[in-house]
Amino acid sequence: MSEVERIILADLTAPQREAVTHIDGPLLVLAGAGSGKTRTITRRVAWLIANGVSPRSILAVTFTNKAANEMKERVEALMTPLDPDGWGGRPTVATFHSFAARILREFHEKVGLGADYSIYDQSDRTRAIKLATERIGLDPSNFPPADLESVISGQKNQLVEASEYAKTAGQGLFRDRKLADIWTEYEKVLAEADAVDFDDLLLRLAKLLRDDAAFRSAMNERYRYVLIDEYQDTNRAQYQIAHELTREHRNLCATGDPDQSIYGWRGADIDNIMRFERDYPGTKVVRLEQNYRSTKRILAAADALIKNNVKRKHKGLWTENAEGDRIEVVRVTDAEAEAELLADRIAAAQAGGLAFGQMAVFMRLNALTRVLEQSLRRRSIPYQIARGVSFYNRKEIKDAIAYLRLLVNPDDRIALERIVNTPPRGIGKTTVDRLAEYAGAAGISLWDAAARVGSDAPALTASGGDPATVDTALIERLGRGAAAVRRFVTLVESMGAEHETCTGVQQIVEGVLSDSGLAAMCKDDEQASANLAELITAAGEYDRDSGFEATLGDWLRDVALVSDVDAIDPEVGAVTLMTLHAAKGLEFPLVFIVGCEEGIIPHRRDDSVRDIEEERRLFFVGITRAMRRLVLTHAAIRMLHGKTDPREPSAFLSELPAAVLDVKDQSEPVHDTFQPGWSRQWNGGGSRGGWQKRPAEETASDDFAELKRGSALYTGGGRGMSRADLEGIGRAEQESSQASNWPIGTLVRHAKFGVGKVMKVTPSGPYTKATIDFKRGGIKAVIMEMAPVERVEG
């Protein structure tokens, strides 16, 4: 064994070594929670390279950017001593989607795409589907885009395309036939816009690999060793990609844990991992069952729970870690009591020496965070939330990206429609409709139609088409709108011309933000401006990382596939609040899981439980994130969707072995608040009765106002909370009392508008918005903390 090999294996266990040293042929690593999976994978990559495999022929695929980045870093760390300059190349580490996007870009002619095709995210897709629905003369309110989205996405994940679906739906119900029609039209919208949606990335690559033997061979040749992480979460399309990529050499290494499959509802098929050995005869199977993360008791609880799942590969998790504390199961009265308990415990843990960053609170539903946030804020406990809505979903960012997308791909209709009147420039719905009508009749894109209204500069051509010819009839029909359209076309063209002269993406972004008027539009909105500034920064980072080699198109492709769970930063020194789904892959010394109640976890919608085993796996994931201490809470009553109901403890709690639990009941007796009269009132006429909270308590404070102020402070940051945000908390707390400083009727003097009277006061984010009736200047809405106003006595 070489010195390098010895180093690679030095601190590994026997099963880990077995996985690492496996070179050729299919390999399945069943890695239990906390069993050192990532370490094993990265070491195996190093091992392959140490054994003569070229780094360039290794492909590692993950599901999240975060996982990909982490793996990249760790592989880099291992490789630097072997090849400091990277001359031997580096393995390809990518997410399924970014890998597909890259390959489709490289072979774009093969799939009929342009080199700079657009990638549509969920909101683009919604708009496109809506457009398609309207175009075939149906009303989107009868055919909600959301319904179609889930069907289309589900089908695409199963490798079913519109044409095939139309065939089967042809005989079916009216609704299904219409759905097929909309889908077909949606594909047209995409094609005209030279765009694909997320699912297409996978679908197209999968089909190309499957149907084009030469292409497949080339890919098999290029990537001799393929690793797929979180294999239990692969859907049909991803399965197919993995399969075809390795069809000729069968060097596929899948790692995952069936017990942590929690994305079935997104099309992930747990059977992909369950039948791996059947799919790949001769598979070497390695089980990593030693857990390095949790205490014995926590592991015992997790193990006892997951044993209730029938559909499962047996795996016995064990650990050499300490016995640890018992798992606390606490029953509280309601969500408010739960939040108080949480804040108490967090404060106590911190006093005991645990940093806030080492604690996490998990929940099944995002809706549960509200009350929690409130109480954490009251106690000045810093926290960060992983929310679905992310930086790149913010309006101003989407607008900016839309401008940039338009420069690269003028046919991108969704991008065009998004910004054609943002900021407002007199191109309303009517004008766009007329243009669209013309475009449809002429068989050209919306941009080309706009270009025919004319401009000073030579037209920006769509996909190499002819420069647009000016159409006077069209101009006449647009009337007043024509001039506005012309100005818009000129603007975009000049931005396009300017972008040619830029070095680096950052310059382009800066130019577009100022030229488009977006920056000016956002200048009064501090948060929006900050976000735009951050976009510029992100572009700058990208430039530096790529050595100023990458194009705007490259960046846009990258950005389209970025989500923001990456924003969760364990270093930030704040308690982490997140859903159980978001928790996968993380670990914390102290974990709370709130809302452990029937109907919440397992979640029940209407009266059907979708898949109780998946819910159990989700709970399992939550439990196994805990390293040392775990607290599970459930409330006796809880309000959800405006309805307060009595709650039963989750059945999952009773599946945990009593020996490792410390069960407490801190709930107040509920019978003395039994108020049948109120019950009806508070239940919205529900006849279930009982167990209601006193209305007086419910409405006692102006918690709502406080909540609104706070939520902007905490969730408005987009990319999570910065240190400055955290330090701002105390200040904001104090300022929050300002609402009462401006009672209605107060006389104020404004530097510009003179004297006025406060008519109305409402909280607005962290600020106080007041409506003031000025003697000169009339009624204005003013942010009291920012406007030059002062109180006038008398």
Residue selected from 222, 266, 311, 723 as contacting DNA according to rule CB under 7 A: 266
Instruction: Identify the active-site residue in 260, 374, 576, 644.
Output: 260
x/- letters, 676..715, toward DNA (CB under 7 A)? ------x-x-------------------x--xx--x----
Q: What is the residue type of 453? A: V
Q: What residues does 94 pair with on adjacent strands?
A: 61
Residue selected from 52, 641, 696, 724 as contacting DNA according to rule CB under 7 A: 641
Residue selected from 18, 22, 37, 63 as contacting DNA according to rule CB under 7 A: 63
Taking CB under 7 A as the binding criterion, the range among 261-269, 351-359, 655-663, 733-741 that sits at the site for DNA is: 261-269
Q: Binders of DNA among 372-391, rule CB under 7 A?
A: 386, 388, 390
Q: Torsion-angle region of residue 213: left (phi > 0), alpha (psi -120 to 50) or beta? A: alpha
Contact 591, 743 (CB under 8 A): no
Nearer to DNA, 442 or 483 (CB): 483
Q: Nearest distance from residue 273's CB to DNA, in Å?
A: 12
**By C-alpha distance, which of 61, 83, 81, 82 is closest to 72?**
61
Q: Nearest distance from residue 348's CB to DNA, in Å?
A: 28
Cα–Cα distance for residue pair 109/89, rounded to 1 Å: 27
Q: Which residues contact 400 (CB under 8 A, 6 or more apart)?
A: 509, 512, 513, 516, 518, 532, 535
Residue listed under structure tokens 């389209």:
560
Instruction: Identify the active-site residue in 124, 194, 197, 229.
Output: 229
**Burial bucket for residue 322 (CB in 10 Å: 0-12, 13-18, 19+):** exposed
Taking CB under 7 A as the binding criterion, the range among 64-72, 252-260, 274-282, 536-544 that sits at the site for DNA is: 64-72
Tokens of 717: 């940051």
Nearer to DNA, 29 or 560 (CB): 560
Write down the H helix ranges in 10-95.
14-20, 37-50, 65-79
Q: Nearest distance from residue 540's CB to DNA, in Å?
A: 21
692 is catalytic: no
Instruction: Identify the active-site residue in 377, 625, 629, 638.
Output: 625
Nearer to DNA, 145 or 324 (CB): 145
Total of chain residues touching DNA, rule CB under 7 A:
55
Q: What residues does 638 pair with on adjacent strands?
A: 645
229 is catalytic: yes
**Burial bucket for residue 132 (CB in 10 Å: 0-12, 13-18, 19+):** buried
141 touches DNA (CB under 7 A): yes
Residue selected from 308, 366, 666, 667 as contacting DNA according to rule CB under 7 A: 366
DSSP-assigned letter for residue 668: P
Q: Nearest distance from residue 87's CB to DNA, in Å?
A: 30
Give the N- to C-terminal CA distance of the chain in Å, as an integer.
91
230 touches DNA (CB under 7 A): yes
Nearer to DNA, 273 or 535 (CB): 273
Cα–Cα distance for residue pair 186/354, rounded to 1 Å: 53
Q: Nearest distance from residue 267's CB to DNA, in Å?
A: 7
581 touches DNA (CB under 7 A): yes
Nearer to DNA, 144 or 730 (CB): 144
Residue selected from 428, 496, 690, 728 as contacting DNA according to rule CB under 7 A: 428
708 is catalytic: no
Contact 484, 425 (CB under 8 A): yes
Q: What residues does 748 pair with on adjacent strands?
A: 756, 791
Cα–Cα distance for residue pair 152/189, rounded to 1 Å: 14
563 touches DNA (CB under 7 A): yes
625 is catalytic: yes
Q: Nearest distance from residue 668's CB to DNA, in Å?
A: 21
DSSP-assigned letter for residue 55: G
Measured CA distances, 193 to 99, 126, 417, 554 (Å): 22, 14, 12, 18
Taking CB under 7 A as the binding criterion, the range among 239-247, 281-289, 468-476, 636-644 that sits at the site for DNA is: 636-644
Q: What residues does 60 pair with on adjacent strands?
A: 93, 227
Cα–Cα distance for residue pair 257/28, rounded to 1 Å: 10
Query: How many CA atoms within 13 Å lie on the side-chain side of 422?
Result: 19
Nearer to DNA, 194 or 566 (CB): 566
Tokens of 368: 């549960």
The phi and psi torsions of 408 (rounded to 5 degrees) equal -80, -35
400 touches DNA (CB under 7 A): no
642 touches DNA (CB under 7 A): yes
Residues that bind DNA (CB under 7 A): 63-66, 95, 97-98, 122, 141, 144, 146, 198-199, 230, 233, 263, 265-266, 268, 364-367, 370, 386, 388, 390, 421, 423-428, 561-563, 565-566, 578-579, 581-582, 603, 605, 610, 639, 641-642, 682, 684, 704, 707-708, 711
**Catalytic positions:** 37-38, 229-230, 260, 625
